[in-house]
Amino acid sequence: MTFKSWITRALAITLVVPTLACQVDEGDLDAAEDATDADDEDDDEDDDDDEFRLFCPIFPGSAPTPDVNGSLAGAPQSVTHEGAGTGNACDRFTLGVASPSGHRAHEVTFGGAYLANSVDAVVGVWARSCTSGGMPLCTTWASIPVEPGQDQAEIVDCDGELLPGVPICVIAGVATLPANNTYTEVRAGIRVETGGGTSQPAMITISE
């Protein structure tokens, strides 16, 4: 073997071996792509599950403008109203109540029942104190926590059935304000959506 042919053969081996070592079975590629697609789908599903709540935040120090205004002053011991968001973004239906001295709000309840197996809700309660007079001074809005009501583990419970084969979702939430609170304004908002993104009516009650 001449020197020239030895060099030619050595170069051929050098080029072929790495090429063979880097060959990947197409079946492995398909499996990897399927796994990646599945992960992407799972991520998309997780994003869809979280989207409604992530896009409806409660900002500290602020409260949505009420759709309905009421007052606890006088004979009423509670103000109750039912309504729905506009269907736009995360607009909540909001009830606002004036609670002057001697008629302080102490409880806010949310409720609703829906013949569906996929319903979600976001709720919020805000309260602040304002001085009386022509130019009142107000504190910033405090966010009041809302807990599940009616013996529910979650505010939204979609595990029940109205009748066999007829799924039902129940919304039940309650916010309790301190017994000695001085809040002169209380607002409560709720948005209920079906799995298809349609806004549904729900009940809000603010009580002394």
Top-confidence range, 45-59, 83-97, 163-177:
163-177
Cα 58 to Cα 83, 90, 130, 144: the distances in Å are: 20, 11, 21, 11
Q: Which residues contact 116 (CB under 8 A, 6 or more apart)?
A: 158, 167, 168, 169, 194, 195
Q: Helix, strand or coil for residue 19?
A: helix
Kindly state the greatest CA–CA separation across the chain: 114
Calculate Rg over the CA atoms of the chain: 30
**What is the average pLDDT score of the chain?**
79
pLDDT tens digit sequence for 161-200: 888 989 999 999 999 999 999 999 999 999 999 888 889 9
Cα 170 to Cα 146, 155, 178: the distances in Å are: 15, 8, 27
Per-residue pLDDT band at 21 (split at 50, 70, 90): very low
Closest CA to 129 of 59, 179, 182: 182
Query: What pLDDT is attached to residue 1?
Result: 54
Better pLDDT: 138 or 58: 138
Task: Identify any residues that bridge with 130 across adjacent strands, giving them in sequence order.
Answer: 138
Q: Helix, strand or coil for residue 108?
A: strand
Spatial separation of the C-alpha atoms in residues 161 and 194, rounded to whole Å? 16
Spatial separation of the C-alpha atoms in residues 66 and 126, rounded to whole Å? 11
Better pLDDT: 81 or 22: 81
Average pLDDT over residues 78-88: 91
Per-residue pLDDT band at 54 (split at 50, 70, 90): low
Average pLDDT over residues 122-134: 91
**Lowest model confidence (mean pLDDT) among 6-20, 50-64, 185-199:** 6-20
pLDDT at 46 over 90: no
Calculate ∠ Cα 191-197-198, nearest 5°. 70
Q: How many CB atoms lie within 10 A of CB 56?
A: 20
Closest CA to 199 of 56, 50, 60: 56
Closest CA to 189 of 208, 202, 207: 202
